[in-house]
Structure 1
């Protein structure tokens, strides 16, 4: 994962600062570094209290924890933990040098990358849960019970941590020629295929595939809603849809730059196209990384707007009531769908029963008519 602090990739350790090719990074300009640190400070002030509040209100104030609430809890935990790492990157920008050593260079960026994977996987699970709850309401209890969801969440976190291992392998520190004793924490790929593998995997598994599942789920949900009488959108669907759209808008620019980096790695050395792609990446990487980083502090703001009707009535528990309300609406939707199915089955059974009765009546009448015999009168009587 990239940050406003540098996600450089280089196979030439002497050029990690980008100055040899005439390009500048955010660390090369003191004013840009200060501006980046200020943005991170604002993100920290919004993200840490907001996500901690979400975790607290779900654990302490929520009377019932639905599957959606459990997924939001994990998402808030992941984002809140990421926000706690922000001061390290703020110091990196202010000092314009990595002063925390090689181990933290690897570990901090590894945790950031794991957060990226975990966030998109959690949002994908939210979409799949909505799909099962609406398209297959009779099976939602069997497929989405608490034990199954807990196991899926554990597997999700293991997968996110596993996919982030390349960051541990390729992240390193290097003294740059810009200033003595100035270090950068960057990705060093000995071969271009490693660079293609790392950033291609981030974009494919960390955005394209899960986001494709998300979009496909909501297409199926909308098609299902159009076929039913119950077309009113419930609050949880609106909230999750806003989270999905916001996440996509914040992360799409970052993954576009990832693909620019992959394209640059695939071009031969000394190619004009390769140099142009590198310049585009160096100019836009800091901006797109900052936008992606902000996505981790925006969800509490979205929840606050979604739950504003609860604030006056519930006080600090307003967010818990919001999540409880989405759970109640979901259960009502499922019960309503089940009731409609039972009503349709009952109507079908009653219709078949009436048809059977009509058929039996017709058969009985026909049989009765068939056994009537006309006896001729005897002796004219």
Structure 2
């Protein structure tokens, strides 16, 4: 199907500097997404396999990790379409795929962020309310919360479905390209979509994560247990990595929102639009990295188990199910400190320590 045929049903407009019109930006973005695909897909599939095949009794934390790995893994499989899009600088998958892929992408990005937030809240409950943790954060309640979360993310991702369209753009050399990009008819649509995405997908969840970990670390420093330095480092790595890779994406969102407050002829609007359009491909690719970083973090956290447990080291990391386990709650809890994760469903006196050791 050629552009002449498509022009009857797809709007044609001048190229004003779209996200795929900058050679440098699209090349960097494609390389990043290609690496993300190669690392993220097998890494997250390995986590899913480790939990489903190796762990019989799954804790609350393991359920959250399983859902996170599924969301991240599915998101990583979508990157191959965006690699092709950036490499060819034209959309070749049709209008339905244009809307559908970006909708699924947004859904799984929201799911990843919200699951990380749920993990931090779950740890907070186990640390601050150790005696009530089993009732406040039981597996039954968490399953319902997870189902509710998946319903929520499918709803709040609808703007990416509504405001995403396929168009034909003509550049300065009269070459045409198909662009799958947001199509906002009014300035308030731009402000709504990007401001809502940043507030709901970054500011609110990241605030909850930071506050939760501050309260957790403050509580743990008041206890007599000191074998938690490695766990603290893992938690801080998760939080910092999440912020580093997502912040540029949402900064561009806010730049695009700010541009809409200026008139069409304003030089400032032209400058802000140029920054947003030339940076969107790279910042979006960086955001994808956060979804492939988790397997890397888990591998570093459980590297002491690799020689002893082989491919089962990930299951050992999540549940502490190795042959040298002593069988007592206290020894299991202290042993898991080395790994950085454990089952936080216990409500005994070591609850606060065990709770923190639930790596992401």
Q: TM-score normalised to the size of structure 2?
A: 0.83
In structure 2, the residue matched to 1:257 is 252
* Equivalent runs, 1:278-289 vs 2, <5 Å: 278-289=273-284
Structure 1 distance, partners of 2:19, 2:181, is: 12
For the 8 Å contact 2:249–2:287, the answer to whether it is kept is yes
Is the CA contact (8 Å cut-off) linking 2:61 and 2:344 kept in structure 1?
no
Task: Find the residue that maps to 1:64 and give its secondary structure.
Answer: coil
Q: Which has the larger radius of gyration?
A: 1
Deviation per CA, 1:348-381: give whole Å up to 9, x if none: xxxxxxxxxxxxxxxxxxxxxxxxxxxxxxxxxx
Counterparts in 2 of 1:168 and 1:331: CA distance versus 1, 3 Å? closer
Question: 1:54 offset after TM fit, Å?
Answer: 0.3
Q: Which residue of 2 aligns with 1:184?
A: 179
Q: CA deviation at 1:56?
A: 0.3
User: Structure 1: how far apart are the matches of 2:152 and 2:288?
Assistant: 21
C-alpha displacement of 1:13: 6.2
Task: Summarize the Cα distance change of 1:338–1:145 in structure 2 as closer, same or farther, 3 Å threshold.
Answer: closer
Distance 1:62 1:88 in 2: 33
Find 2:57's aligned residue among 53, 58, 64: 64
Q: 1 CA distance for matches of 2:71 and 2:290?
A: 12
Distance of 2:61 and 2:232 partners within structure 1: 10
Say which is worse superposed, 240-249 or 199-208, in terms of deviation. 240-249
Is it true that 1:77 corresponds to 2:70 in the alignment? yes
Q: 2:158 aligns with which of 161, 165, 185?
A: 165
Cα 1:255/1:217, change in 2 over 3 Å = same
1:101 counterpart residue number = 94
* Matched-pair contact (CA < 8 Å) for 1:130–1:237: no
Which deviations, in whole Å up to 9, do the C-alpha atoms of 1:4-36 show, x marking residues without a partner?
Answer: xxxxxxxx9624x32xxxx4644442x654443
Cα distance in structure 1, aligned partners of 2:342 and 2:168: 57
The answer for the alignment partner of 2:167 in structure 1 is 174
1:154 and 2:147 matched: yes
1:212 aligned onto 2:207: yes
Distance between the aligned counterparts of 1:238 and 1:130, measured in 2? 15
Whole-Å separation in 2 of the counterparts to 1:190 and 1:88: 27
1:1-381 to 2 correspondence within 5 Å?
14-15=13-14, 17-18=15-16, 23=17, 25-29=19-23, 33-178=26-171, 182-233=177-228, 238-325=233-320, 326=336, 328=342, 330=344, 334-337=347-350
The offset of 1:68, in angstroms, is 1.2
Counterpart-to-counterpart distance in 1, 2:131 and 2:26:
55
Q: CA deviation at 1:51?
A: 0.4
* Equivalence for 1:373: none
Secondary structure of residue in 2 paired with 1:186: strand
Q: 2:329 aligns to what?
A: none
Give a deviation string over 1:26-56, Cα, whole Å, max 9, x none.
Answer: 4442x65444333322211111100000000
CA distance in 2, matches of 1:208, 1:306: 28
Q: Which moved more, 1:183-192 or 1:269-278?
A: 269-278
How far is 1:238 from its partner? 4.4
Indicate if the aligned counterparts of 2:44 and 2:72 stay in contact, CA closer than 8 A: yes
Alpha-carbon distance change, 240 to 337 in structure 1, aligned in 2, over 3 angstroms: same
Q: Take 2:281 and 2:342, find their aligned partners in 1: how far apart are those partners?
A: 43
Deviation string for 1:103-135 (max 9, x for gaps)? 100010001111121111111111101101111
Structure 2 CA distance for partners of 1:130 and 1:237, relative to 1, 3 Å: farther
Give the Cα separation in 2 of the matches to 1:129 and 1:237.
Answer: 16
Following TM superposition, by how much is the alpha carbon of 1:266 offset from its aligned partner in structure 2, in angstroms? 1.9
SS in 1 for 2:13: helix
Deviation at 1:95, TM superposition (A): 2.5
Q: Give the Å deviation of 1:182.
A: 2.3
**Bigger helix share:** 1
Instruction: Tell me how far 1:139 sits from its aligned partner.
Output: 0.6
Backbone CA RMSD of aligned residues: 2.3
